[in-house]
Chain A
């Protein structure tokens, strides 16, 4: 009842946002003057046949409204169009790219959350101590580093030690690594630098938020109650403060998913990581609009989906939600 209501509400919101993304996507590419698909002359190396095929496929001679419904109809059937560059359907390619993006982004983000939460707790616990000052300063510094800068610095520092690119070969098993484990190891080594870069650019903000959230929580009356009961500091933090202080972190992670994906695009670009960000960058440089449009849509859906999951997590963590 209460929970079903909540889930349905959040689901409706997620679906609505995806619908908005699709619609804005359409406008961006078809309606705004000088937008990509309308202006077919901008498609590089377009043969008359391709132009004709595109005109038919997108219904460019029909009214905008008709085009919009055609577009929706195609999307529902998993058709995001044909890549201008390799003439292959966009959707399966992007799904494959997403498969490479997810592990790297997940590992980097989860590591950032763990490190951020840990240092946030330590900082709040030992407020105004040397540890707090060092940790907070570092967090502010890393928060300020743009990922491209951090990525390039890591590239220079670890040049020759850790691979900076070549992930696509690792995935394809080109290095002749035989067997599951050696291939996994290969992939793992390639993942170190990109995932570390992502982790470092994210952990600073998580630390700062966790610290202030924890400080706020430690000032709550139930913490004083816990102390009055005779609990030790460690138990007070773990049992009473931590869960309460984590609630804002869940919101923060959900809110910054869009930014995390943005960081992933740059990082994939720097480390030639064959993920969805790399695909989008390639699409930009080759003016492959269907690919770009599809990539944006998939990223948007992924972020909205993760937000939905975060909503559910929040619901699970906080009994007060939806009262």
Chain B
């Protein structure tokens, strides 16, 4: 009921255009902030070789030297400049994050579309696997797989990709099932279009925006998993990533040395990137599915206006 009340109080809902990203950035400030953060880290990662003030492998200052004008983020247990390490570490963390997300999007999007479009036994089989992956403790699973396969960047990407596709598949499946029932899709099918064609031309474009939102959110999870696996020592120990920087700090007793700078800037970098992905992903979701409702709780008092100057109707 009271759609009027709803509409009246929030104004006309922002039109969701065919370009959700643009809508998002126009209407959701937090989405813009999120995108800004992500772009910032991508630029830093790409330009790391140029931007790095020191070598990330050669000692350039004292062991556990605190932050200073020369070394903004201080130095680690090997006397290596942390700012340089973090800049470089972002590269692999981002690479793993995006690559793993790509893997999970391909699997999850594929499974979701197949399951939702074909239904029946395809759906039953695929959804039972999805159910399993949804309840299984992801980190424990990653621990087992990464350990059995041995530490390497590619393995970590595959493990995270495999772990992350289940929620995507679920969301996409639900969406496909509604798209499938739309009149124009049914009409195209009645006209004899092949399944591949219907999926490529009609289902995929409808599902794409949701897939984008989900991708951004998955990047956050992938980066979180990467840093965690690295922290637990399940990544190639010689590679420099945000996860291994924390791991080194913890391993080499940075905590008891009071060297907070080995932990805080790196941790904040991880958190900021996750936050950026979360903000952007949530903004896209909000734009796709506007749930702006007016709360029905009372405000303490409404404004009473005097009846002066209200035109010819005023009595």
Contacts and interface: CB of A to CB of B under 8 A. Distances in A.
| Direct A–B contact in the complex, CB atoms closer than 8 angstroms | yes
The 5 closest A-B pairs by CB, nearest first: A219-B293, A262-B139, A149-B267, A218-B295, A144-B275
A99 interface: no
A215 B136 contact: no
Interface of A: 13, 16-17, 20-21, 24, 28-29, 32, 34-36, 124-125, 127, 140-141, 143-150, 152-153, 155-156, 159, 164, 212, 215-216, 218-221, 223-224, 227, 233, 236-237, 255, 257-259, 261-263, 265-266, 269-270, 280-281, 284-285, 287, 292-293, 295-296, 299-300, 303-304, 307
B296 A219 contact: yes
Contacts of B241: none
Interface residues of B, number: 55
B295 A149 contact: no
A127 B10 CA distance: 13
12 contacts: A125-B297, A141-B271, A148-B250, A152-B267, A153-B263, A153-B267, A156-B258, A212-B291, A218-B293, A258-B134, A265-B232, A292-B144
Contact of B233 (A21, A35, A285): A285
B301 to A, nearest CB: 13
Main secondary structure of the interface of A (DSSP, over half): helix
B137 A262 contact: yes
Given A144-B272, A146-B228, A156-B263, 4 more contacts: A219-B294, A224-B296, A292-B143, A299-B140
A236 B255 contact: no
A156 B267 contact: no
B131 A148 contact: no
A146 B271 contact: yes
Given A124-B295, A259-B138, A296-B141, A159 B132 contact: no
Contacts of A148: 227-228, 231, 246, 250, 267
B303 interface: no
B149 to A, nearest CB: 7
Nearest to B270: A146
B236 interface: no
Contact of B278 (A143, A220, A255): A143
Contacts of A263: 139
Contacts of B41: none
A144 B271 contact: yes
Given A35-B148, A262-B228, A307-B135, A218 B297 contact: yes
Contacts of B227: 146, 148
A13 B129 CA distance: 12
B132 A24 contact: yes
Contact of B131 (A17, A223, A233): A17
A200 to B, nearest CB: 12
Interface in B133-171: 134-141, 143-145, 147-150
